[in-house]
Structures are given as structure tokens and as C-alpha cells.
Amino acid sequence: MYTLLPMKKLVVFTGAGVSAESGIKTFRDSGGLWEEYDIMDVATPEAWHRQPEVVLEFYNARRKQVLESEPNQGHRIIAELESHFDVDVITQNIDDLHERAGSTRAMHLHGEIRKSKSSINPNLIYPISGDKIAWGETCELGSQLRPHVVWFGEEVPMMPPAERLVNEANIFIIVGTSLNVYPAALLVFHVRKDCKIYLVDPGDPIIPSQLNITWIKEKAGEGMRMVRDEIIKV
Ligand code: NAD
């Protein structure tokens, strides 16, 4: 009689770079701008307070772009790894390209652009059917709907469950993040001592020197192909 060994736990932590080959720009790569906008003008509670219609317009444009984009090889390889490992994806991205590539468990640390939420009760979250949240569109309590995204300066309520997942990982793969946005960048410090860590990024992310990280200096698609070939043979 055969006994099935439990699958190894693989946690993949992604940032804007994993979606770059799908045509969605990162913001570090354009000098701190996000699609030509200064993030302080569109991705902070102060911006929402000062110019909510501009913020809505910015995210409406990002949502339209996400709907017109397709997952790339990097997203697809991450999804396919579910045939070999017990996989959890933790993403800083607000797009849904991991889900559309087939990943069944993708935790969004910074929210989801295809959802809206009440601006007075963060627990009231709704799917968006088209590509827009309109000015004047309200939640059931009568307050303006805002994008369901975590802005700079806001709490990241998904950090504790994400930290627990990272702590369970046998293999931890970081893809396409500058490791420059906090508290998300601290997740890597929750790995166990025996966890193998890979980083796929063609740029210059901030790599913590105290951890033993195998850096594959490639774009997400090619880099994930290399990581996959290495981890499925061990
Ligand atoms: P970042 O912009 O700070 O860093 C992007 C990283 O991706 C860089 O290290 C860069 O070298 C790397 N990169 C560029 N092209 C790549 C490629 N083809 N393959 C792999 N890596 C590549 O992004 P971040 O660290 O994720 O932080 C930015 C924040 O902005 C996130 O919190 C996120 O919510 C938000 N954001 C999201 C999206 C999205 O949802 N797709 C896009 C832009 C920004």
C-alpha cells in the first residue's frame, strides 16, 4: 500500500513586477510615478479627501486597463505550480491576474481594484460589474463608494494572516517587488530558518542581507520558468 506524502508548502509573494509583462506599469520603474501620476495625489487618504473625483478617475482608468490585460507566463507558471505544491499567493497587486491565470488562493494585501467599498464602513465591500465607480454612487449607508484598495498611510489588515502563511512555507518565492513598500516588505522576515527563498526581479530590489536568498535577475516569465524547473526536480 502507498502512503501519499503531504505536498510541500509554497508561498509566492508578488508585486507590480509580476504584471509588468501584461502591460501594467510598476511605479518604481517610472521614477516614483504610477502611470504618470504622483502617488501622493491619487493613492492616499489625503488625496481622497482633497480631490475624490480625480482619485475615482485614476482608479477607473487602472480598472479599465486591468480588464483589458491578460495574465502572462509568470502568472501562469505560479498557477500551474498547484499541481506540485500546496500553493498560496500573497500579492501586493490590486489586479486580478493571478486569479485569471488559475491561482485558487490569492490573498490581496493591498485590496482589489475590481471591488468598491463604503467610505464610512470598511466591511461593506461590493463587486464592480463594469469598469467604473461613479461620483455619487453610494453604499447601503448612503456614503460615497471608494475603491477597495489600501492607500499609502492606511492599515494593512491582511498582514497577520499573510505572516502566518509565510511562516508555514517550505519554499518562498518573491517576484517583481522593490521590497520598498511597508509593512509588506517585512513579510520575508517571517520565513522559518529551513525555508528556501528565491527572488525573481530584473531590477534592484532591496534585498535583506541577513537572509539567504537566491536572486534570479530575470523578468517574471523567464525567472519563474527557471525557478519552476529547479524546484519541481527536488
Ligand atoms: P514597485 O513598483 O515598487 O516595484 C516593482 C518591482 O518590479 C521592481 O523591483 C522592478 O525591478 C520589478 N520589475 C519590473 N519589471 C519586471 C518584470 N517584467 N518582471 C519582474 N519584475 C519586474 O512595486 P511593488 O513593490 O509591488 O510596490 C508597489 C505598490 O503599488 C504595490 O503595493 C501595489 O499595490 C501598487 N501597484 C500595483 C500594480 C498592480 O496591481 N499591477 C501596479 C503598480 C503598482
Residues 10 and 75 in one domain: yes
* CA distance linking residue 181 with residue 177, whole number of Å: 9
Residues 163 and 199 in one domain: yes
pLDDT at 92: 97
For residue 175, give its domain range: 1-24+71-110+157-234
Residues 211 and 190 in one domain: yes
Q: What is the pLDDT along the chain (234 residues), one digit of tens a residue?
A: 667 778 999 999 999 999 999 999 887 776 667 778 898 999 999 999 999 999 999 999 999 999 999 999 999 999 999 999 999 999 999 999 999 999 999 999 999 999 999 999 999 999 998 999 999 999 999 999 999 999 999 999 999 999 999 999 999 999 999 999 899 999 999 999 999 999 999 999 999 999 999 999 999 999 999 999 999 986
Residues 224 and 175 in one domain: yes
167: domain CATH number is 3.40.50.1220
Residues in the chain: 234
Residues 105 and 121 in one domain: no
Closest to 136 in 3D by CA, of 23, 56, 26, 230: 56
Q: How far is CA 87 from CA 77, 80, 90, in A?
A: 12, 10, 10
Among 26, 44, 174, which is best to mutate for testing ligand 1, by the most ligand atoms less than 8 A from CB?
26
Residues 99 and 62 in one domain: no
Half-sphere exposure of 15 (CA within 13 A, CB side): 24
* CA distance linking residue 60 with residue 54, whole number of Å: 10
* CA distance linking residue 131 with residue 128, whole number of Å: 7
| Final residue of a structural domain among 127, 149, 171 | 149
20 CB within 6 A, ligand 1: yes
147 CB within 6 A, ligand 1: no
Residues 124 and 215 in one domain: no
Number of domains in the chain: 2
Residues 83 and 125 in one domain: no
| Final residue of a structural domain among 123, 149, 175 | 149
How many Å lie between the centroid of ligand 1 and the Cα of residue 119?
26
Block residue for cell numbers 492616499: 44
| Final residue of a structural domain among 89, 124, 149 | 149
Residues 172 and 201 in one domain: yes
Residues 33 and 87 in one domain: no
Residues 170 and 231 in one domain: yes
Residues 140 and 231 in one domain: no
pTM: 0.95
